[in-house]
Structure 1
Amino acid sequence: MASEQPATSQPSSSASSIMEVSESFDIKATYLKFLEDDKEMTMPVAAIETLVTLLGITQPSTSYELIKILENATQSLKKSVKNSISLSAGCDLFMRFVLRNIHKYGDWDSCKRHLVANGRLFVERAKTAREHIAENGLPFIRDDDVILVLSYSRTLHSLLLNASKKRIRFRVIVTESRPSNKGSLMAKVLREAGIPVSLVVDGMMGYVIDKVDKVFCGAEGVAESGGVINHIGTYQLAVLARNANKPLYVVAESHKFVRLFPLSPSDLPTEFPVQFSITEPEYELERSPRVDFTPHQYITALITDLGVLTPSGVSEELIKMWYD
C-alpha cells in the first residue's frame, strides 16, 4: 500500500490532547535555561532550540496536531517574555521552516525525524552566523579608526575582536547605555581584549560625534524596511551620526529579521510608554523603555551573515526566506 500524505485538514485527536502537550512542557523555563547555560546564545536561537526540543518530545499523530502544538507554544513564549521582538523573529522563522518542510515525506514518522534532524541543523547554522559577520565586517574597520558604539552586542563584540586579532589598530568610544548600563560591559570585554576604550555618559553623544570616524551598533531586530530595533538611544545616535556625516553600520544576524513594518519610533510597541507626573515616581529609570526604532534612512549598511546589505536588501532577503 502506498504511503499516505500527512493529513492537515482535520485533526485526528481532540483539542484537549493538544492543550495537554502544550501545558506539560514549560516552554518559558526551557527557553530561559538555554540562555542561562550558554551566555553567548541569542534570543532567537534560544527560541529555536526550545521549539526543536518541544518537537522532539511531542507525539502527535498528524501534522495538524504538530502545527497547533507549535503555534500554542510560540504564542505562550512570546507573551511570557518582555521585549520579545528578537525572540519572535526566531519563533516565526522556525514555524516557517516547519510549514515548508512538513509535506516532504509520505509517512508521519519520517516527516517528524526529518523536522527534528534538520531543525537542529538549522540551529547550528544560526549559531555560526556571528562568525560570518566577524569576517564580513572586517573591511569596514581600518587602522586609526575611532569607532562609536552604543550598548553591548555579542555580534559587534565578535567583529571588533576579530579586527583586533587581525592587527587592525583602532579605538572605541562606548556610551554607558542607560538604563541597562550595558555599555559598561562592552567597555570591559573590549579592554580585556587589549582594545583601547573610552566609556562616556549617554549625554556625551553629541560631544564626541565629531571625534569619531564611524558608528557601529547591534540589533534586537531588523524590520522589513531595513530599520533597526535596538537598545534605547540608538535612534538619537543615528540622527546625530547622519547630521555629522558619519556612517552608521548595523551588525545583525539574519535570524533577527522580523516581519514588522514600523514607520516611525512611535509605532514600536513598548511596555513602558512615556508618562508624566507632578511627583517623582519610584524606580523611574527602571521603568524606561528598553528599545527604540531607527528608520532605514539613517542606516548606511547592515553587516549580516548573508553579506553586507543596504536597508532595502533586507526586504529582498525576507521575501526569499518566506516565499521562495
Structure 2
Amino acid sequence: MFDIKSAFQAILKDEQISPPLAAILALTELIDNSDAGTMFELVKALNDGAEALKNQTTNTISLNAGCELFIAFVTLFPHDSDNFTDLKKELIRHGQNYAAEALTYRQKIAELAVGFIKDGSVILTHSYSRVVMQTLLLAHKRKRISVFVTEARPRGLGIKTAEALTAAGVPSTVILDSAVAYVMDKVDFVLVGSEAVVESGGLVNAVGSNQIAIIARAANKPFYALAESYKFHRLFPLSQYDLPSHTSKILSFPRPLLSEPSLRTNAPDGGLSYPSSGSTSTNQPDLESPRITQESISQNNPNVDYTRPDLISLVFSDVGSLTPEGVSQYLVGMFAG
C-alpha cells in the first residue's frame, strides 16, 4: 500500500527540493498508485494525502501551499482524454514536468534580484534560504558584496548561511538577532527568503523576519523577499496568531512548580503566616530554581512569523518582481483557472 509520508520524506532527501515541491511530487506519486476511478474519488484521495502530510509536521504553511496548488491544478485541469486512466497519466506527466521546471525557478529569481544589487552593497539576510543563497552567490560572481547574517534563533540556521558564504569567499559576519537595529545603519537593504507569500501580499518566514522588516522601515531601508511561485499561498492572516503554525503552547506561561498557597503555614492562633526570607523552618518547602534550556525556550517559541505587506518593498519571484499588491492579484488569477 502506498505510504505518502514515506514518499514525501524520501523526496526531501534531495536538498534542492523544498517542502512544497516535495508535497507536489508526493501527491503525483499518489495519483500513480491510486485506484480511483472518478475525478471525485481522485480529488478526495489527494485531499486525504495532503492531510496526512500536514499531520506529520508542526509547520505546515509551505507544505500547505504546495498541496493547495497541486489539488487546484488537478481540479481545474482541462482535458480531452478518452478514459480516466489516460487522464491520470496526463496529470502525472504534468506534475513531474512542473517539478522539473520548478527547480529552475531559483536561478530565474537570482538573475532578477541581482539586477537590483549594486556593486559594493552591504546586505542583511536572515536564517537560511536556498534561493537567497543562490542569489548571493550569483551576486558575488558579478559584484562586490558583503553580508550580515542573523543567528536566527531558535534553529540557528544563520550560521549555516554564513559558513556557506564564507566558504564561497563572500565577506560575511554573523550578528545576534538582538543586534539587528544596531547594524541596520550599515546595511543597504534586507534580503530574505520565504516559507510562503500569502494572499494579502504579506510574508511568512523564519521568526524574526517581522521585526527586521519593522526596523528596516524605521531606518528607511528596502526589505526584499524572494519566493518561488509555488510558495504563493491562499492564506489571509491578520496577525501572528492567525497563522496555522500558532498553537496555545507557543509563548505560554508554564505553571509554577509550587503554588503560593503551599508556602502558607498554620499559625498557632489558627490564622495563616508566611515564612520570612531568612527562615530555616523545616516546614518550608525546598524550592529548586527551574532549569531553563535552549530546548525549552525553542519549544515555547514560534518558528515562523508574519510580516505585513506594507513593510515589504518587493517580492522577487519566477513570475517577476511584484509589489505585495501584485502578489494578491497574481494569486487570484492563479486559482481562478
TM-score by length of 1: 0.89
What is the CA-CA distance between 1:35 and the residue it aligns to? 0.8
Contact 2:2 2:33 in 1 (8 A): no
The CA distance in 2 between the partners of 1:61 and 1:214, in whole Å, is 53
What is the CA-CA distance between 1:242 and the residue it aligns to? 0.2
Match of 2:229 among 254, 277, 280: 254
What is the CA-CA distance between 1:320 and the residue it aligns to? 1.8
Q: Secondary structure at the match of 2:59?
A: coil
The answer on 1:152 being equivalent to 2:165 is no
Deviation string 1:67-114 (CA, Å, 9 cap, x unpaired) is: 111111111111222201000100000001111126542311221111
Equivalent residue, structure 1, for 2:4: 27
1:22-171 to 2 correspondences below 5 Å: 24-36=1-13, 38-101=14-77, 103-166=79-142, 168-171=143-146
What is the CA-CA distance between 1:266 and the residue it aligns to? 2.8
Q: How many positions carry a matched residue from both structures?
A: 299
Contact 1:190 1:197 in 2 (8 A): yes
The answer on 1:291 being equivalent to 2:304 is yes
Give the unaligned 5+ runs of structure 2: 257-289
What is the CA-CA distance between 1:145 and the residue it aligns to? 0.7
Q: Secondary structure at the match of 1:81?
A: coil
The CA distance in 1 between the partners of 2:241 and 2:41, in whole Å, is 38
The CA distance in 2 between the partners of 1:250 and 1:124, in whole Å, is 23
Bigger CA radius of gyration: 2
The CA distance in 2 between the partners of 1:92 and 1:69, in whole Å, is 13
Give the unaligned 5+ runs of structure 1: 1-23
Equivalent residue, structure 2, for 1:222: 197
Q: Secondary structure at the match of 1:222?
A: strand
Q: Secondary structure at the match of 1:80?
A: coil
Match of 2:318 among 301, 305, 316: 305
Contact 1:102 1:111 in 2 (8 A): no
The answer on 1:273 being equivalent to 2:250 is yes
Equivalent residue, structure 2, for 1:196: 171
The CA distance in 2 between the partners of 1:89 and 1:222, in whole Å, is 9
What is the CA-CA distance between 1:153 and the residue it aligns to? 0.4
Work out the percentage of aligned pairs sharing the same amino acid: 41
Deviation string 1:221-267 (CA, Å, 9 cap, x unpaired) is: 11101100000100110000000000000001010011100112232
Q: Bigger CA drift: 306-315 or 97-106? A: 97-106
The CA distance in 1 between the partners of 2:201 and 2:125, in whole Å, is 19
The CA distance in 2 between the partners of 1:266 and 1:115, in whole Å, is 36
Matching residue's letter, 2:230: H
Contact 1:265 1:295 in 2 (8 A): no
The CA distance in 1 between the partners of 2:194 and 2:200, in whole Å, is 14
Equivalent residue, structure 2, for 1:208: 183
